[in-house]
Amino acid sequence: MKRSIVYLVGAGPGDPGLITVKGHECIKKADVIVYDYLVNVELLKAAKPDVEMIYVGKQGGSHTLEQEDINKLLVEKALEDKIVTRLKGGDPYIFGRGGEEALVLREYKIPFEVVPGITAAIATPNYAGIPVTHREYTSTFGLITGHEDPAKNESSIDWSKISTGIGTLAFYMGVKNLPYITEQLMKHGRSGDTPVAVIRWGTTFRQETVVGTLNTIVAKAKNIKPPAITIVGEVVKLRDQLNWFENRPLFGKTIVVTRSREQASEFADRLYEFGANVIEFPTIEIVKPDSIQPLDEAINTINTYDWLVFTSINGVDSFFQRLFELGKDVRVLKGLKICAIGPATAGGIERYNIRVDCKPPKFVAESVAEELKRVTAIKGERFLLPRADIARSYLPEELQKSGGEVNDLIVYKTLMGQPKDVNILEKMRNGEINIITFTSSSTVRNFVQLIGKENITSLKGHIQFASIGPITTKTAEEMGIDIAIKAKEYTIPGLVNAILESTSPIDK
């Protein structure tokens, strides 16, 4: 039975969160993805590892492929008995030439489905604080191309009817023709005082909005380049009250997250919620230790220990993963007391319905040692510490000094990361990055090694560096990095709060 099918998928206006659930599923199942210029490449991360990616973007006067060639490409790939997902910005059938592609597929008797997408005429003004309809202003809304087929002898737009017959007008890709559009609207009866908004890169961190009237917008928007959408109508007046997207505290800020790829998402999501553009640049990679035998031996003799001390969520994950791989469950921890440093680590343990007996008030090794001395005798007790290969020696040494027997166990290794964004230095030099974050000493050391200490020194004063805690800050300062943003609580939420506190409208 043939598998071939083509999904014509609307990828939405730019914010990757605005794709539909069905559209996302089509990306995941595709053998071939054919995508446009305005498709956010973040969406491609959901694709299969062996998917064939084909970029067919059209930008200004530069076309990777002409439309006829794109049509042929879809047919060719489908005839190879492949699942093809055609990703188009916005909605496939709204100025996306999706109808043309569908007709060609039908001509060749190739099965296809159309997955609607959120179109820019709705989403972009929404993100700019402009509702396209409002009962006190208008109940009619029109979508119009601002860039008609250049081969036409005359415009197919009936300016006499749309100028005064529709309350809100949305012109797609009409920046270059803005003088003509405004001229035609006023010529056919629309008041020159009608509010107008031109919105560039709507729904993305690069969003830029210029507001004026039909009389003034051409001059005000002279520096706006495509891609942009133009909204004409009284509803534009509501922007001052309803502008939520551009008013978020970190809007316009680009922040680099240097955590491991596995852990970056939580941090990135929190920053994104406050409007930041986040670049994931993982400088560390978490892998299994060279030998798993010591961990196996510790798990098989777990009842000989008094305390199980976790100093990171990675230690928790590595320990429990191996525990379950050995065919055991949490019942083997009966009678064992648990200590955890920080809420993330404690939360990782509590996921298994295990109560944490000791939670130090500060999230550093010194506080762990002090709290353990307060709650237990230490002397004569056995401690198991599942940790990283590069963990500080302070805690096991302090417990041993107090008479404790310590098994300082390597359950994971921290290696140099392999970031995909190789242009990070260029972005730093170009002023495209505002803040670089460090969540451990290893992220600092590896970042310096990847970027080069001389490059960081040359950029002093242009970029702010943020640290999660005193040990990380100390490492950074030893390497010549001035930490401008310091978390008061040594957690990811604490670091986010510190970044928010350091940011003011003046900074933007």
Catalytic residues: 36, 58, 173
Residues contacting 385, CB < 8 A, separation 6+: 309, 311, 391, 395, 396, 406, 407, 408, 409
In angstroms, the Cα distances linking 2 to 262, 346, 385 are 37, 51, 55
Residues contacting 276, CB < 8 A, separation 6+: 205, 250, 251, 253, 254, 255
In angstroms, the Cα distances linking 397 to 313, 336, 401 are 22, 21, 6
In 3D, which of 408, 374, 395 has the Cα closest to residue 471?
395
| Helix residue spans in 243-364 (DSSP H) | 261-273, 293-300, 313-325, 343-350
CA dihedral 303, 305, 307, 308 (to 10 degrees): -70
Angular region, 271: left φ>0, alpha ψ -120 to 50, beta rest: alpha
Residues contacting 381, CB < 8 A, separation 6+: 306, 307, 404, 405
DSSP run (H or E) holding 67: helix 67-79
CA distance 94 to 275: 28
Angular region, 449: left φ>0, alpha ψ -120 to 50, beta rest: alpha
Residue 355's CB: how many other CB atoms inside 10 A?
9
**Angle (deg, nearest 10), helices 313-325 and 343-350:** 20
The three-state secondary structure class of 243 is coil
CA distance 20 to 90: 11
Residue 389 in tokens: 């290969």
Q: What are phi and psi of 453, to 5 degrees?
A: -60, -35
CA distance 380 to 434: 51
Residue 418's CB: how many other CB atoms inside 10 A?
10
Q: Quote the DSSP letter at residue 358.
A: B
